[in-house]
Chains A and B, each alone.
Chain A
Amino acid sequence: MADDIILSASGLTKEFKGFIAVDGVDLRVRRGSIHALIGPNGAGKTTCFNLLTKFLTPTRGTITYNGRDITQRKPADIARLGLIRSFQISAVFPHMSVLENVRIALQRERNDSFAFWRSQSTLDSLNGRAHDLVQAVGLIEFIDSLAGELSYGRKRALEIATTLALDPELMLLDEPMAGMAADDVDRITQLIRRVSKNRTVLMVEHNLSVVSTLSDVITVLARGKVLAEGDYATVSKDPRVLEAYIGAHP
C-alpha cells in the first residue's frame, strides 16, 4: 500500500513572521489519481502548493516523493525528478513562439543546454514532438505566434503542453481555471482528464464544478489545516466543510 503513494507530506508547516499559513498538514497523493486541494480564500492552498514544489521552504515537516525525502531539494532538482508544476498566473515565455515554448521543455533532456557554440538548428530535431504536443492542446494554428500574444485560455493550454513535454510523473496545477472563460474551462477540463492518464495530478482549484467532475480525492484546507478528505460526495456533505465555505451551522 505504501508504494502506492507518490507524494506525501507530514506535519508540513509554514510560518511567516508569527502568522502560520500552513499548520501541520498531512497529505498523501495516490499514484494515478487526480487529487484536488480546495478551501476558502486564505486557507493556505497556494502556500501549501509552493511548499510541495519547493518554491517555499517549510518551517517544519517533511515531503516525500516516490519514497525519497525531497524536503531539502531545490526547485530545479525536483523538476528533474519528474514533479512539474504550473503557476497561478499563466507561465509562458512571452517573447518566444508557441513552438519554442514547448521545445524549451523538450530541450532539457538533451543535456546540451550550455552549448553556446552550437547552432540552435540542432534543436529542429525536436520540432516534430513539439508539434504533436502543440496539436494535442489545440494550438496548432498558433504554433508560430509569440506566446505573449495568445489569449488567456490559450496561454494556459500552452502551459500544459509545455508541462507535458517533460512527461511528468506528477503534475501540480495551481488553479488551472483561474480567470478563464466558460468555454476555456471546458476545454482545459477535458485536457486535464486526457493527460492525467498514466500520471498523477495534484491541483489547487476554486471552481467546484471542475473539482467535482475531475478529482478522485479532495482535500479541504481551512486556516492552514486539513479539514476533510475524501471524494466529492463525502466532502461536500461534511458539515465542517459547509461551515468553512458558507459559514452555515447545520
Chain B
Amino acid sequence: MSDEAESVGAGATLDVEPVGAEAILSDRAARGKSLHMAIFAGLAVLLLIAPFLMYPFFLMKLLCFALFASAFNLLLGYGGLLSFGHAAYFGMASYVSAHAAKVWGLSPELAILAGMVTAAGLGLLFGALAIRRQGIYFAMVTLAFAQMIYFFALQAPFTGGEDGIQGVPRGHLFGIIDLSNAMTFYYVVAVVFLLGILLIYRIIHSPFGQVLKAIRDNEPRAISLGYRADHYKLAVFVLSATLSGLAGGMKAIVVQLASLTDVYWAMSGEVVLMTLLGGMGTIFGPMVGAAIIITMQNYLASLGAWVTVAQGVVFVVAVLMFREGIVGVVSKWLKKPL
C-alpha cells in the first residue's frame, strides 16, 4: 500500500539492492578494530619505555590496579552488574597468593594461580547467590559478602590480622627468572597485565560478549530469544572475579604485602571510582581511571588524610563535567567505541 511511497525515505520495499551494506559494515568494524589494535600497540610501547621514565615499583602497583579496574569493568560496563564487593576477590586472592609464596614456598606464578582459583571459587559462590537480585539489591548482597570476607580476614590466623602478611618473597618465576631485579619483575608484570587486558578485550568481542551486551541492553528480550540470562551473568561474574584475583595476587607479590586494606569495603569503592572516572563500558577507561587515582595517592601522599578529599573533589568534578568518564567523553568526540 504505502510501501512504495515510503520506500524513498525508508527503503521499505523488499526488493531494494543491498547498497553495499555488508561492505560498509565490515569496513566500520575493521576500522574500529584497527583503532583498538593501534592503541594496544601504543600501550605496549608505553609499557616498554615507562620504567626508564618512572619508578618501576610504582608502575607495577599501577598496572595491578589498572588490571583490577578493567576486570571490574567487564562486569559493570559489559555485564551491567554493579558489584560493590570486588575487594573480596582482589583481597582474598592477595592473601592466598602471599600465604602460598611465603609459607608454602610456591613460585610466584603458582602462588598467583592459587589466588586466582580462590577468587574464582568465591566468585562462583557469591555470584550464584547475588545474581538472584537486581540493581541496588545486587550491589548490597555483593557488599554483604565482601564484608563477610573482611571479617574472615580479620579473624583467620593465617592472614596475620592487623599486621597482614608481610615480607612476601618475590622468588623466581618458573623457578628460573629472578624477580628481585626490579626491571625484570616490571616486564613480567607488564606482560601479564597486557595479556589480561587482551583477554578482557577478547571476552568483550566474543560470541559470549555479544550475548552479554544483549542481556545488558534488554534482559527480557534476550530471555525471550531463548538465552538463559542468569547463566551468562554468573559466567561473567566468575570471569571478573578471577581476573580481579589475578590482579590481587600479583599485587601481593609486587608490594610484598597482603593486608586488610585489600579486602576493605573502601577498596571496593575505589575500583568503582576508577572505573567511573576513566569511563565505564570502555576498554581503555578503567586503566586511565586507575592511573589517575594511583598517581594521586602516590604523589599526594604527603597530604595524608587529605588525599581522600582530593579524590572526592576529582570525582565530583568528573561526574559534573564528563559523566561518561574521561575515555567515554573522548570516545563520544571521536564517535568510536574505545
Contact = CB atoms under 8 A, between A and B. Distances in A.
A162 B225 contact: yes
Contact of A118 (B3, B14, B206, B218): B206
Interface stretch (A3-11, A182-190, A218-226): A182-190
14 contacts: A79-B223, A91-B218, A91-B220, A93-B213, A96-B213, A97-B25, A107-B210, A113-B207, A116-B206, A120-B207, A131-B21, A138-B7, A141-B16, A190-B3
A239 interface: no
Contacts of B226: 76-77, 79-80, 84, 108, 166
B206 A183 contact: no
Given A108-B225, A120-B209, A136-B14, 13 more contacts: A74-B228, A93-B221, A93-B222, A96-B213, A104-B210, A105-B225, A112-B207, A117-B206, A120-B207, A144-B21, A144-B25, A183-B6, A186-B1
Nearest to B212: A116
Interface in A52-80: 53, 55, 74-77, 79-80
Contact of A127 (B14, B22, B220): B22
Contact of B203 (A116, A124, A166, A183): A116
Contact of B214 (A104, A118, A138, A141): A104
Given A94-B217, A96-B217, A141-B11, A75 B210 contact: no
A108 B232 CA distance: 13
Nearest to A137: B14
A187 B12 contact: yes
A95 interface: yes
Contacts of B55: none
Contact of A135 (B3, B16, B199, B228): B16
Interface of B: 1-3, 5-7, 10-14, 16, 18-19, 21-22, 24-26, 28, 199, 202-203, 205-211, 213-214, 216-218, 220-229, 231-232, 235, 239
A162 to B, nearest CB: 7
Contacts of A96: 210, 213-214, 217
A53 B225 CA distance: 11
B37 to A, nearest CB: 13
- Counting chain A CB atoms within 10 Å of each CB, the highest count among B12, B14, B216 belongs to B12
Contacts of A76: 223, 226-229
A164 B59 CA distance: 52
Interface residues of A, number: 58
Interface in A138-156: 138-144, 154
Contact of A131 (B2, B18, B225, B229): B18
Contacts of B7: 138
A248 interface: no
Nearest to A110: B207
A92 interface: yes
Nearest to A172: B224
Nearest to B229: A76
Contacts of B218: 91-94
Overall SS of chain B's interface? helix
A190 B2 CA distance: 11
A142 B10 CA distance: 9
A209 interface: no
A141 B3 CA distance: 15
A138 B16 contact: yes
Nearest to A97: B25
B224 A87 contact: yes
B221 A87 contact: yes
B337 to A, nearest CB: 10
A100 B225 contact: no
A187 B235 CA distance: 41
Contacts of A99: 25
A143 B26 CA distance: 11
Contacts of B25: 97, 99, 127, 143-144
Nearest to B235: A114
A116 B2 contact: no
Contacts of A97: 25
Contact of B16 (A105, A116, A140): A140
Contacts of B19: 140-141
B72 to A, nearest CB: 17
B3 A187 contact: yes
Nearest to B7: A138
Nearest to A182: B2
B18 A144 contact: no
Contact of A116 (B14, B214, B239): B239
Contacts of A139: 11
Contacts of A178: none
B15 to A, nearest CB: 9
A115 interface: yes
B18 A104 contact: no
B21 A143 contact: yes
Nearest to B337: A95
A156 to B, nearest CB: 12
A118 B205 CA distance: 8
A7 B203 CA distance: 39
Closest 9 CB pairs of A and B: A79-B226, A91-B221, A141-B11, A93-B217, A116-B208, A138-B12, A116-B203, A143-B21, A76-B228
